[in-house]
Amino acid sequence: MAMAAAQLHFTIALLPGILLVCFLLSVEAKGKDIEVKELQIGVKYKPKDCDIQAHKGDKVKVHYKGTLTDGTVFDSSYERKDPIEFELGAGHVIKGWDQGLLGMCVGEKRKLKIPSKLGYGAQGSPPKIPGGATLIFDTELVAVNGKGIGETEESEL
């Protein structure tokens, strides 16, 4: 019984030190850039009705905010109040976008975490995007082939 009490006392005495080490490691991890190896797609909002989806070859209009993993904003169509328009899958944008926007519904919002290999690679895009950077984009699909929310194929007949 005395041995068990001694072990318990020893464990309790070590607990604050263990907690301090865990805390310091978590603080250090938060300060480091988060490197992503593969494309990560997070759906932040999806409309109840998904009448129009983005497919390869479609002309899409997208609002976005691009940040580095430390939170630095390097570009934002929201600030310009001008969404980007391009042909999906044609290589007009970085590969992470061509892949990450496929199947997206008009009105849907996604967070894309794009590894360097699907972004700007080792060379980056100076001066705002360093080489090897993981990119984070908050995206919103505004229109597909000129059709926005409430503008389905039937409405044009």
Residues with catalytic function: 64, 74-75, 94, 120, 137
- β-pairing, 73-76 vs 59-68, is antiparallel
CA distances, 64 to each of 28, 30, 32, 41 (Å): 29, 24, 24, 14
Of the candidates 25, 36, 32, 93, the one whose C-alpha atom is nearest the C-alpha of residue 61 is: 93
Instruction: Go through 44-63 and write b for each residue having 16 or more CB atoms within 10 A of its CB, e for each that does not.
Output: eeeeeeebbebeeebebbbb
